[in-house]
Amino acid sequence: MTAPRIYKTTGIVLRQRRLGEADKIITLFTPNLGKLDAVAKGVRRPKSKLAGHVEPLTYTTFMLAKGRDLDIVTQAQMLDASLPLREDLERTGRALYVAELVDRFTPERQENYPVFRLLLETLRRLASEQDLDIILRFFEMRLLDHLGYRPQLEACVNCGGALEPVTNAWSVEAGGVLCPACARNAPLSHPLTVNALKMMRLLQKGDFAAVARVKTAPVLEAELERHLREYLIYVLERDIRSAHFLDTLRRTGGVARQS
C-alpha cells in the first residue's frame, strides 16, 4: 500500500518565506513529523482563505498534500491564534525569537515531541504571563536539553571536581561550568556567580512553576541571558537574528506598553 497522498497534522507556524507571485513557503513544527516546509498557495492575495490561518506563531490544523518537492497546504484551520502574542510588541518579539531558535536548531522531518510541547507551552506562557524574560531562559535551557546540548552544571566540566559555592566560570567551549582552578587555563570563560549557577540548575531541572516563583534581580537576569545566549550562539555557530530586535526593543522600551 502506498502512503496516502493527503495527510492531516497540527503544527505551529515558525516562519514564512515568499514564493513567486502570490504564494508562500511556511515552515511548521509538528508534534509527530518535526519541522517541515509546505507551500501555501495564493496567501498573498487579499481574499485568500488560508492566509490568516498560516500566519507565523499560529497553532493550526493542516491538511497537506504530498507534492513532488514540497507538500502543499490544502486546508488550514487555526486552533489557537494566540492573540495576546500579536498585540504586544514585547510578546511578539520574544515569540519570534523562540520560533527562530526552534527553526535553527531542528533538522527537517525529524520527530521531536518534547520540543513541540516546549514550543507550544512557551508560546502560551508568552501570551499570558507577565515576567517574559524568565520564560525565554526556561525555554533556552530546556531546548538545549531536548536537543542533546545540555550544559554541565553539576560538576566542573574539566576536572570533574565538585563545585563550591563561590564564583565559578561559565565556558561555552567546555560545555558548562568550570571550577576556579580550571578556569585559569580557560581564557575565554566568564565569571559565573553563585546565584546564576543556582538559577541555571533550577532552569535545567525544576518545573516552570518553581522557576516562576523565584524573584530574580535585574543584574542576575542580565547575567543569565548573557551566558545562555553565548552558549546558544556557540552551539549554533551563527548569530540569532531576532535577538538583535529584542535588544532594540530594550533600548526603546520604558515607554509605556501600548498596543
Q: In the structure grid, which three cell numbers stand for residue 258, read together?
A: 501600548
Piece of the chain touching another protein by CB under 8 A; list 154-162, 177-185, 199-207, 234-242: 234-242
Q: Is 23 helix (H, G, I), strand (E, B) or coil?
A: strand
Please state the closest distance from residue 81 (CB atom) to another protein, in A. 4
Nearest to 77 by CA among 97, 60, 56, 55: 60
Distances (CA, A) of 36 to 15, 20, 44, 106: 11, 19, 20, 10
Exactly one of 78, 120, 233, 235 binds another protein (CB under 8 A); that residue is 78
Q: Output 149 or 245, the one with its CB closest to another protein.
A: 245
d(CA 109, CA 11): 12
Please state the closest distance from residue 51 (CB atom) to another protein, in A. 8
Piece of the chain touching another protein by CB under 8 A; list 28-36, 108-116, 127-135, 243-251: 243-251
The total of other beta-carbon atoms located within 10 Å of residue 156's CB is 23
The answer to whether 168 and 174 have CB atoms below 8 angstroms apart is no
Please state the closest distance from residue 22 (CB atom) to another protein, in A. 10
Which chain residues interact with another protein by CB under 8 A? 15, 20-21, 46-47, 49, 51-53, 55-57, 78, 81, 83, 86-89, 92-93, 96-97, 99-100, 103, 239, 241-242, 244-246, 248-249, 252, 255-256, 258-259
